[in-house]
């Protein structure tokens, strides 16, 4: 189904986290082939980084399963508006708010707005992220490291912290980590470190919240065709992206979203917490 989408011309975007509207070809991120069965009927979900890529596919997949959505994004207004339109086309309610989840004041205010709009919170998907290629760690800028950690791990912590008072038994948190958390990346040292931190955060928070019957799990995608790719790598690297996986291709957001639906659904994964699913094209990992 997705093999025909593998020809990607060299391209580059000069902003983080990138725009889906500026990608060629566009990612498969609309879950067009997904048939909902009410797995998330009546549920209320926050998705950070939900404007594009994996976040968009997750939001639409959740809507197809019956959930209402509150989407947080940085400043990609055109992408966010399109995701909102696609969610509402599934007959679900959706609101979008722009801001920096790494700012605890924004995270707290956003959670309260979400709870008011949705009438509660059942699911938190921490998915916002950024990455910046660096091939010589001796030259990495301190501001880049701080910014990457602020978005990729502190933002997850703030969102979870402020969502927790609203979560009840049966609620779920799903965190986006990465294959780089397990095998590292020589050109994404700081990014890989944040993804390893997300893995430890997921397991530790799962252990703490088990007695409250709130499940916490993760998804560790491999090379997925999202706006982060042309925003992070050279045009030549973008063209070859994903070719080294056992499946010899890049993945699509639609191929990741089912893992989030599974982990968010109490009907499917009520006995699963502290675990990670790996849609990575066949790369072996441990844990």
- Dump pLDDT digits (tens) for 10-69: 999 988 888 888 899 999 999 999 999 999 999 999 999 999 999 999 999 999 999 999
With respect to residue 57, please indicate whether it lies within any of the assigned structural domains: yes
Say if residue 228's pLDDT is above 80. Answer: no
- More confident of the two residues 230 and 282: 282
Say if residue 195's pLDDT is above 60. Answer: yes
Main-chain dihedrals φ then ψ at residue 71, nearest 5 degrees: -110, 130
Span 254-276, mean pLDDT? 98
pLDDT in tens, 125-154: 999 999 999 999 999 999 999 999 999 999
Show the domain range for 157: 38-277
The predicted structure's pLDDT at residue 5: 60
pLDDT in tens, 77-119: 999 999 999 999 999 999 999 999 999 999 999 999 999 999 9
Q: What percent of the chain has pLDDT over 70?
A: 97
With respect to residue 104, please indicate whether it lies within any of the assigned structural domains: yes
With respect to residue 11, please indicate whether it lies within any of the assigned structural domains: no
Q: At 57, which CATH number?
A: 3.40.50.720
Write down the mean pLDDT value for the chain: 95
With respect to residue 51, please indicate whether it lies within any of the assigned structural domains: yes
CA–CA distance from 283 to each of 88, 179, 182, 203, 249 (Å)? Answer: 36, 8, 10, 21, 12
73 is catalytic: no
- More confident of the two residues 7 and 31: 31
Say if residue 173's pLDDT is above 80. Answer: yes
With respect to residue 218, please indicate whether it lies within any of the assigned structural domains: yes
With respect to residue 13, please indicate whether it lies within any of the assigned structural domains: no
Instruction: Kindly name the residue from 156, 162, 191, 260 that is annotated as catalytic.
Output: 191
Q: For the chain, how many structural domains are there in total?
A: 1
The predicted structure's pLDDT at residue 234: 82
Q: Residue 207 — pLDDT band, cuts 50, 70, 90?
A: very high
The predicted structure's pLDDT at residue 237: 81
Span 216-233, mean pLDDT? 89
Q: Residue 1 — pLDDT band, cuts 50, 70, 90?
A: low
Say if residue 235's pLDDT is above 90. Answer: no
With respect to residue 20, please indicate whether it lies within any of the assigned structural domains: no
With respect to residue 172, please indicate whether it lies within any of the assigned structural domains: yes
Span 168-183, mean pLDDT? 98
């Amino acid at each position: 189904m997705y093999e025909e989408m593998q020809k990607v011309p060299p391209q580059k975007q000069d902003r983080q986290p990138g725009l889906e509207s500026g990608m060629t070809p566009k990612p498969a991120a609309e879950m067009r082939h997904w048939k909902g069965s009410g797995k998330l009927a009546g549920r209320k979900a926050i998705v950070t980084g939900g404007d594009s890529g994996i976040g968009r596919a997750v939001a639409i997949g959740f809507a197809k399963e019956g959930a209402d959505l509150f989407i947080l994004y940085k400043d990609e207004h055109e992408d966010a508006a399109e995701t909102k339109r696609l969610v509402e086309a599934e007959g679900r309610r959706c609101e979008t708010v722009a801001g920096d989840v790494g700012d605890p004041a924004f995270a707290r205010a956003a959670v309260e707005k979400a709870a008011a709009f949705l009438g509660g919170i059942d699911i938190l998907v921490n998915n916002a992220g950024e990455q910046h290629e660096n091939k010589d760690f001796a030259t990495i800028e301190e501001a880049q490291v701080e910014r990457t950690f602020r978005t990729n791990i502190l933002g997850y912590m703030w969102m979870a912290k402020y969502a927790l008072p609203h979560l009840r038994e049966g609620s779920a948190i799903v965190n986006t980590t990465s294959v780089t958390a397990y095998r590292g990346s020589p050109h994404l040292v700081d990014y890989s470190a944040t993804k390893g931190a997300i893995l430890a955060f997921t397991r530790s928070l799962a252990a703490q919240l088990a007695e409250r019957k709130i499940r916490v799990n993760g998804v560790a995608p491999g090379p997925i065709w999202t706006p982060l790719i042309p925003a992070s790598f050279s045009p030549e690297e973008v063209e070859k992206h994903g070719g080294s996986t056992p499946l010899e291709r890049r993945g699509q957001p639609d191929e990741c979203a089912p893992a989030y639906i599974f982990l968010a659904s109490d009907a499917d994964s009520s006995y699963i917490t502290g675990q990670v699913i790996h849609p990575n094209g066949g790369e072996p990992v441990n844990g």
